[in-house]
Amino acid sequence: MNNGSDILDYCYISKGTIWHNGAEWFSKEELPFKAFMKAAYQQRGISYPKFFKMDRLSKLAFMASEVMAAQTPFQEETALVFANRASSLDSDRKHQHSIQHKDAFYPSPAVFVYTLPNICLGEISIRHQLFSENSFFIFDSFNVDTLHPYCNHLIATKKAPAVLCGWVDFDTETEYEAFLYLIRNENIPTHYIQQLYEQHHDST
């Protein structure tokens, strides 16, 4: 039985700490989200000014993918399959605030463009020049059994040599979580992936 060795890489982010393949990669628990992301960006040594224009959901997804890409660069046909609970609620709130009063009606195109959760997939695709399948699902919680059949199909039918998949959820400054993992084999047992997620989720 496959023991999970075909998971090439994984990253977990929550509450001011980033774990990479089970080891703590960076931690600034005292910082608010924006400052934490900037500090992680600097730690990673990235030069990508567009990062600072992204919404918070995209920054979260982007940073998790950057930590992983440093070790395992993505092939251009790597598929992206993400899910979350809050959709684009953080940007939706900002957009709603800008339009709810007729005397202060100032919608921002820079905010409106992020009122779809799958925009974070586009940000990663642009950064890594991916030309691949991508999907974003909305679920109550992370459950690998709901994602895995689609990921398996992409690999089994050779539509993608690998899939970057997982959970990227941003609700508030203190309620955010990313768990991304890269797979290349459709036979990885789902309980192994669920276990990786839960060992981090339950400890934060």
Domain assignment of residue 137, yes or no: yes
pLDDT higher than threshold 80 for residue 49? yes
Mean pLDDT, the chain, whole residue set: 86
Domain assignment of residue 1, yes or no: no
What CATH number has the domain bearing residue 143? 3.40.47.10
Q: What percent of the chain has pLDDT over 70?
A: 81
Domain assignment of residue 2, yes or no: no
Residue 4 confidence class, pLDDT cut points 50, 70, 90? very low
Domain assignment of residue 157, yes or no: yes
Pairing between β-strand 7-14 and β-strand 176-183 as defined by DSSP bridges: antiparallel
Show the domain range for 17.
Answer: 7-201
CA contacts within 13 A on the Cβ side of 129: 3
CB 85, CB 146: distance < 8 Å: no
pLDDT higher than threshold 50 for residue 5? no
- What per-residue confidence (pLDDT) applies to 112? 47
Domain assignment of residue 17, yes or no: yes
- What per-residue confidence (pLDDT) applies to 171? 87
Domain assignment of residue 112, yes or no: yes
Domain assignment of residue 18, yes or no: yes
Q: What is the pLDDT of residues 141-182, one digit of tens each?
A: 998 999 999 999 999 999 999 999 999 999 888 899 999 999
Q: What is the mean pLDDT of residues 7-33?
A: 95
